[in-house]
Structure 1
Amino acid sequence: MDHEEENPKLEDLRLNAVALLELRSRGFQFVNGLGHLENADILRIPGVGGVTYRRILAALRRI
């Protein structure tokens, strides 16, 4: 259970549908999978912006 809290699924972040589909199509299922991307690269993913961007960064503990 602790492992799930440290690495939540993208669905758990309540992302918008477009961003979630785009991230899944790129092979991401868990938040830590995005850890190797820089913040600007995350923001360049179609559908990611505003609240979605902040939720991802918060889950990665970057903000």
Structure 2
Amino acid sequence: MNMPKLARMSASPLPDGSVFWLADGTRCPYCDTVLRCDPEPLANGASFRLICQSCHHDIICVD
């Protein structure tokens, strides 16, 4: 029986103490670039967004 491979995960701490996890190899749906696990904290510290470093589209935004 073949078992599916599990993706490795990268983690980045957020200012509020929580951790953002992203599967390695996740690609931008707009330009197909591999995304880095580098979320950008927003003003209140509990919010963040992940943008593509290549095309600069928002990928995830949590308010």
Q: Same fold (TM over 0.5)?
A: no
**Higher relative helix content:** 1
Greater fraction strand: 2
Give the number of the structure with larger relative contact order, counting CA–CA contacts within 8 Å between residues 6 or more apart. 1
TM bucket (normalised to shorter chain) is under 0.3
Task: State TM-score, norm by structure 1.
Answer: 0.28
The TM-score normalised by the length of structure 2 is: 0.28
Point out the structure with max Rg over C-alpha: 2
